[in-house]
């Protein structure tokens, strides 16, 4: 099923024209309602949190978010303050006086009654995210509250359930009996609420073109605007330091690996690559199934080619556990003890060497260490002896026998044996800098890895590969994820920029596995220099994902909602936008026309070959960066900064 071309960053000149450049935000109020306002559940939290800044820059104190009250989140994520608007304060006081708990629908409805008392009667735009907030939209429209409404679905409710049940979803979109499927899964009431919100809204949006096709079939309405998810790129920006950050954080991961694989550390950490997959534990939806199968095939290829490259793969997915694995804790304790022993012997050795040199003598290396030193070192070596294989999981799993990841690890036989070139570490908990095992935040961990692998089957957008991109880390995604479709549309050769896109839409599962295996095997064949060059290219794609640009889609959705709710005041040119081909990043000139010119015919190669590649590779970083800057078409000028607001460096500029 071919996808129609959406309004994209490259075709933003095709948006309908407005009679005035900016909305009169001083006379408007914008409310954004979602269950994930200050409530971290999934990717919608990231959307709302990262988009807040550009929305505040546009709307100032006329922008409000509404979400559930959780005391812990309230104390740690926001600051209590007095309402800046008299109508808002009156509405909140009225609700409190009635002894009612503030809810989304009651808040909006009660608020509008107080707004009607204002002399100027400002117009209201209410943006609702997902079906949980949709009840407020439905009630507002049924009570004829005069306001413009926008509804965004980040993933259809039924679509997520169907894909979780291993249905052949995308090949049968037009064949599902929607009502029956929702009823069988006991979500019919929620599905009806979601569908009602979609059809009651003035403007319906979704986050990607692949989800737009899904929504058309599941909810029977085509989205008016596709609003791609962005990031606050400035938060991740490290300028020229991101390569150094990669090296620093890679050392931390290497320390964990030294402890986790103690007794079996017979591979070279300098030639070890770190891959990872992270997110909600949706085994099939997130593509963990084909990832594990591809790892088995990658392990076979590396062994057949006698590669000296080792791949350590991390699965960062929260599951039910009761504590850390004893073996994992012991490994880190052994590593620390070995380090302390080495430091103690080093100090003694250094002191005796220093004293001998002061006397003008060349020390006798057979006497510089005494019997006690050798005893200490022998005990340390004995402590590293291990009669079992390194554990696959770092925690004690409650459902070890039925856990999908562990069950498939047993099926493919990746038990971290000495002969395996692919090692697996399942960390069933989100990362934390206070962890006794892997004391790193998620951002630090991502920067230290070499490749993020996210071969999702159902991924309306996909923030994880996007976060990799802005941190300069190559990633694998699919053409069934919004992020993958977006990158395919804007980049001529995504793999040259470190974005590997697996075809899961038009290929069988086995063919997709082979393609993913080939991507990972080719990545393992790259020299260190080639990986550095690729990370530079990946990081330069950051601007494509910046909210300063992608936020304009939300602006357009609000403009469109106002024109439909208040046509007498807000007018829009109804002429269809002109067709555009869209700009695509060119293939970098430094990429040779044939893989044989840049990749080794076999992953087993010498350091001398690496040196030759580094000298001969036609790459000029400054020249290539300048070429990219000239080729990037800035999609929008966000307009002049309103009076009284300071223009930040890099904001609103072309």
Name the DSSP letter for residue 27. G
Beta bridge partners of 278: 316
Q: 421-449: string of b/e by CB count within 10 Å (b at 16+)?
A: bbbbbbbbbebeeebebbebeeebbbbbb
pLDDT band at 628 (very low <50, low <70, confident <90, very high): low
Output 640 or 135, whichever has higher pLDDT: 135
CA distance 210 to 204: 15
Strand order from edge to edge, sheet including 28-33: 63-66, 28-33, 123-129, 148-153, 203-206, 225-226
Predicted pLDDT of residue 156: 95
Give the pLDDT score at 237: 72
- The confidence score (pLDDT) of residue 621 equals 62
Q: What average pLDDT score do residues 397-412 get?
A: 95
Q: What tokens does 324 get?
A: 């850390």
Most confident among 22-26, 494-498, 610-614, 640-644 (mean pLDDT): 494-498
pLDDT in tens, 273-314: 999 999 989 999 999 999 999 999 999 999 999 999 999 999
pLDDT tens track for 196-208:
999 999 999 999 9
| pLDDT tens profile 135-185 | 999 999 999 999 999 999 999 999 999 988 888 899 899 999 999 999 999
* Sequence ranges of the chain with CATH classification 3.40.50.2000: 19-64+123-230+546-578, 235-325+391-541
Range name among 357-366, 412-421, 615-624 with the lowest pLDDT average? 615-624
Position 122 scores a pLDDT of: 66
- Return the pLDDT at 605: 41
Residue bearing the bigger pLDDT, 489 or 176: 176
Buried-state track 293-309, b at ≥16 Cβ within 10 A, e below 16: bbbbbbbebbeebebeb
CATH architecture of 235-325+391-541: 3-Layer(aba) Sandwich (3.40)
Does residue 224 contact residue 561 with C-beta atoms inside 8 Å? Answer: no
Percent residues over pLDDT 90 in the chain: 55
Confidence check: pLDDT of 464 > 80: yes
**What pLDDT score does 653 carry?**
35
Quick: pLDDT tens for 214-252. Answer: 999 999 999 999 999 999 888 777 666 888 999 999 999
Which comes out higher in pLDDT, residue 363 or 583? 363
490 or 642: which leads in pLDDT: 490
pLDDT band at 652 (very low <50, low <70, confident <90, very high): very low
Question: For 26-49, how does the pLDDT look when each residue is reduced to its tens digit (9 = 90+)?
Answer: 788 999 999 888 887 778 888 998
Provide the pLDDT for residue 598: 40
- CATH code for the part of the protein at 19-64+123-230+546-578: 3.40.50.2000
Query: pLDDT at position 527, please?
Result: 95
DSSP codes of every residue in 365-431: TTTSS-HHHHHHHHHHHHHT--SSPPPSBSEEETTTTT-HHHHHHHHHT----TT-SEEEEEE-S--
Question: Regarding predicted confidence, which is higher, 575 or 70?
Answer: 70
pLDDT at residue 609 is higher than 50: no
> Parallel, antiparallel, or unpaired: how do β-strands 321-324 and 395-397 relate?
antiparallel
Would you say residue 611 has pLDDT above 80?
Answer: no
Tokens of 175: 């064949």
Query: What tokens appear for 631 in the block?
Result: 């080729």
pLDDT reported for residue 344 = 87
User: b or e along 162-184 (b: 16 or more beta carbons within 10 Å of the residue's beta carbon)?
Assistant: bbbeebebbeebeebebeebbee
Angle at 376 between CA 373 and CA 379, to 5 degrees: 150
What is the predicted pLDDT for the residue at 625? 64
Weakest-pLDDT range from 178-182, 355-359, 495-499: 355-359
CB-based contact 105:140 (threshold 8 Å): yes
What is the predicted pLDDT for the residue at 440?
Answer: 96
Q: How confident is the model at residue 94 (pLDDT cuts 50, 70, 90)?
A: confident
| Residue 104 pLDDT exceeds 70 | no
Q: Contact 126/139 with Cβ under 8 angstroms?
A: no
Lowest mean pLDDT among 108-117, 553-562, 620-629: 108-117
Which pair of structure tokens corresponds to residue 204?
Answer: 């319906």
Average pLDDT estimate for 480-490: 92
Q: What is the pLDDT of residues 417-439, one digit of tens each?
A: 999 999 999 999 999 999 999 99
Query: Is the model's pLDDT at 3 over the cut of 70?
Result: no
């Amino acid at each position: 099923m071919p996808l129609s071309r959406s309004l994209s960053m490259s075709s933003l000149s095709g948006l309908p024209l407005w009679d005035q450049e900016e909305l009169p935000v001083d006379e408007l109020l914008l409310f954004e309602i979602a269950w994930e306002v200050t409530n971290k559940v999934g990717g919608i939290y990231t959307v709302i949190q990262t988009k807040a800044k550009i929305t505040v820059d546009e709307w100032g104190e006329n922008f409000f978010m509404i979400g559930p009250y959780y005391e812990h989140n309230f104390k740690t994520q926001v600051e209590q303050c007095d309402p800046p608007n008299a109508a808002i304060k009156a509405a909140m006081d009225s609700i409190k006086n009635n002894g009612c708990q503030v809810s989304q629908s009651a808040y909006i409805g009660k608020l509008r009654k107080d707004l009607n008392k204002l002399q100027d009667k400002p117009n209201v735009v209410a943006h609702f995210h997902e079906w949980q907030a949709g009840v407020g939209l439905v009630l507002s429209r049924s009570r004829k509250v005069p306001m413009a409404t926008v509804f965004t679905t980040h993933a259809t409710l039924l679509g997520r359930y169907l894909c979780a049940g291993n249905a052949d979803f995308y090949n049968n979109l037009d064949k599902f009996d929607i009502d029956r499927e929702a009823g069988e899964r006991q979500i019919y009431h929620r599905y009806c609420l979601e569908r009602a919100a979609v059809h009651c809204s003035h403007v319906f949006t979704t986050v990607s073109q692949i989800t737009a096709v899904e929504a058309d079939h599941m909810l029977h309405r085509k989205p008016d605007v596709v609003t791609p998810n962005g990031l606050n790129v400035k938060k991740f920006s490290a300028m020229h330091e991101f390569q150094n950050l990669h090296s620093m954080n890679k050392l931390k991961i290497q320390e964990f690996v030294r402890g986790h694989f103690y007794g079996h550390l017979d591979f070279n950490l300098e030639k070890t690559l770190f891959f990872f997959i992270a997110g909600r534990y949706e085994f099939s939806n997130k593509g963990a199934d084909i990832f594990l199968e591809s790892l088995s095939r990658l392990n076979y290829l590396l062994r057949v080619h006698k590669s000296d490259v080792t791949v350590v793969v991390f699965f960062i997915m929260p599951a039910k556990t009761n504590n850390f694995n004893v073996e994992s804790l012991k490994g880190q304790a052994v590593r620390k003890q070995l380090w302390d022993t080495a430091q103690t012997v080093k100090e003694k050795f250094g002191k005796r060497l220093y004293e001998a040199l002061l006397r003008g003598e060349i020390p006798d290396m057979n006497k510089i260490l005494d019997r006690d030193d050798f005893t200490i070192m022998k005990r340390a070596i004995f402590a590293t002896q291990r009669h079992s294989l390194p554990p696959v999981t770092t925690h004690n799993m409650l459902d070890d026998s039925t856990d999908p990841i562990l069950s498939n690890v047993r099926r493919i036989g990746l038990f971290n044996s000495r002969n395996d070139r692919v090692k697996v570490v399942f960390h069933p908990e989100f990362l934390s800098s206070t962890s006794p095992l892997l004391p790193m935040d998620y951002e630090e961990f991502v920067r230290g890895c070499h490749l993020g692998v996210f071969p999702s089957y159902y991924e309306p957008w996909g923030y994880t590969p996007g976060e990799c991109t802005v941190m300069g880390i190559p990633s694998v995604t699919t053409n069934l994820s919004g992020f993958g479709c977006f990158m395919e549309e804007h980049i001529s050769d995504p793999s040259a920029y470190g974005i590997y896109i697996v075809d899961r839409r038009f290929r069988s599962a086995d063919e997709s596995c082979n393609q993913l295996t080939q991507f990972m095997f080719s990545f393992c064949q790259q020299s260190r220099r080639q990986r550095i060059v690729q990370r530079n290219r990946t990081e330069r794609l950051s601007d494509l994902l910046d909210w300063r640009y992608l936020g304009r889609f939300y602006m357009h959705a609000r403009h469109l909602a106002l024109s439909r709710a208040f046509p007498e005041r807000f007018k829009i040119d109804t002429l269809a936008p002109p067709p555009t081909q869209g700009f695509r990043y060119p293939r970098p000139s430094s990429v040779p026309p044939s893989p044989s010119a840049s990749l080794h015919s076999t992953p087993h190669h010498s350091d001398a070959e690496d040196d030759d590649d580094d000298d001969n590779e036609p790459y000029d970083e400054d020249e290539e960066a300048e070429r990219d800057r000239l080729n990037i078409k800035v999609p929008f000028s966000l307009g002049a900064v309103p009076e009284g607001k300071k223009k930040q460096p890099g904001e609103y500029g072309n």
